[in-house]
Amino acid sequence: MSASMKSHARRSRGFSLIELMIALVLGLIVVGGLIQVLISNRTAYRLQESSNFLQQNLRYGTDRIGWSLRMADFWGGPAASAATITGAATDGSAASGCDDGFARAVIPSASGGGGVFGYDGGTAFPIFASCITNASNYVQGSDVLVVRYADTDACALTGTTFTTVNCLPASRYYLTSAVGGPAVLTAGTGGGTAATIATPLQTYVYPLRAEIYYLRPCSNPGTGGCTATSDGGTPIPTLVRMRIDSSSSTMKSEPIVEGVEQLQFEYGIATQAAPQAVTQWLNAKDLTAATWPFVIAVRVSMVTVARQRDTAVPSAYTFNLTKGCNYSIAVGGTPSYASRTDCTGFTVPGFRPDQFPRKLVQQVFQLRNRTRGVITASGS
């Protein structure tokens, strides 16, 4: 064989086994690096998505409560306060459950009446046992807020009558408000039957709205209430609104936003006629029948928790919701509670809570239908 043929044969032999193994190792290193980058990017995306949901939940939760508070004590305009409403209006002293009797307790009192009323959290639902029949459906230590007002979507009038079908949604009770005259709370006849009003000229009829905001340990309790198996085995604490059912005399609960772990309310009191400014913040248990009508602002403190676990960056937090509701979460440790006088019975749920990001928001809402009125004295 000539020298040229031998040289050609050597060039045609291809890779040796050692060269092939080196190429495979280098390829695996490159592929492994790409996989790690993809996994890291996916994890970062999921954590960012979870953070976005956390922010969105905070925004929507406070917006929903804030909208109700801004509507609180709206009684059609002519009435200076809920105390001037006649007819079926009560002060809540005869209420025995979350029903239409509780809903029409628009007259301020220490029995749960008025456009705004609150309850400090405890080991049991603080209103009536019939409101939450299953104790597991209430987050212990979280506050409860009650808001009542006349809906701005007025019923259509035909002469001296209005029909409940013209109100969207329908309600069992209506506020008849005449310009320059009194406001009267009356029961609707239901079934689309017309109800009569005294003076149709410059008279408006509004459906009564009553809402209760509270926290539930899970989003979907089912018939057996919230358990460890709720929400697919990972119970999600949820902000819930209870409102008067349009087709019955009872109130029904509906989830508003998921991921709300703790909820606290403080009430700003105006102790002088002018200017109408908050001079002190009180908890619900510190207010009386004389001071509830002079609440002109509500401070909402809300803690939301993410559903996505973050094991790479443990999160340590200290939450100061109110002077009597503070708790901390240490890295790798159990939660500690500096004070639970305002949130008696509350405990942080779940295993390794430091692996779930949380956020606290505190926002003040003015009760515009009260600040536009006249305050003479607090009586405190």
Amino acid letter for position 368: R
pLDDT band at 16; cut points 50, 70, 90: confident
pTM of the complete model: 0.82
* Domain around 138: 46-371
Is 341 among the domain residues?
yes
Q: Average pLDDT for residues 330-337, to the nearest whole number?
A: 86
Is 157 among the domain residues?
yes
d(CA 62, CA 327): 21
Residue pLDDT, tens place only, 163-173? 555 565 556 78
Report the percent of the chain where pLDDT is more than 90.
Answer: 29
User: Lowest-confidence range among 88-102, 201-215, 249-263, 365-379?
Assistant: 365-379
d(CA 161, CA 192): 11
For residue 312, list its beta bridge partners.
none
> SS3 letters for the chain?
CCHHHHHHHHHCCCCCHHHHHHHHHHHHHHHHHHHHHHHHHHHHHHHHHHHHHHHHHHHHHHHHHHHHHHHCCCCCCCCCCHHHCEECCCCCCCCCCCEHHHHCCCCCCCCCCCCEEEECECCCCCCCCCCCCCHHHCCCCCCEEEEEEECCCCCCEECCEEEHHHCCCCCCEEEEEECCCCEEEEECCCCCCEEECCCCCCEEEEEEEEEEEEEECCCCCCCCCCCCCHHHHCCCCEEEEEEECCCCCEEEEEEEEECEEEEEEEEEECCCCCCCCCCEEECHHHCCCCCHHHEEEEEEEEEEECCCCCCCCCCCEEEEEECCEEEEECCCCCCEEEECCCECCCCCCCCCHHHCCEEEEEEEEECHHHHCCCCCCCCC
Is 359 among the domain residues?
yes
Residue pLDDT, tens place only, 179-212? 666 788 887 654 344 445 555 456 778 888 999 9
Is 93 among the domain residues?
yes
pLDDT band at 246; cut points 50, 70, 90: low
Is 31 among the domain residues?
no
Is 13 among the domain residues?
no
Is 377 among the domain residues?
no
d(CA 301, CA 66): 12
Is 29 among the domain residues?
no
Amino acid letter for position 45: Y
Domains in the chain, number: 1
Contact predicate 344/140, CB 8 Å: yes
Out of 1-5, 226-230, 243-247, the most confident range is 226-230
The total number of residues shown for the chain amounts to 380
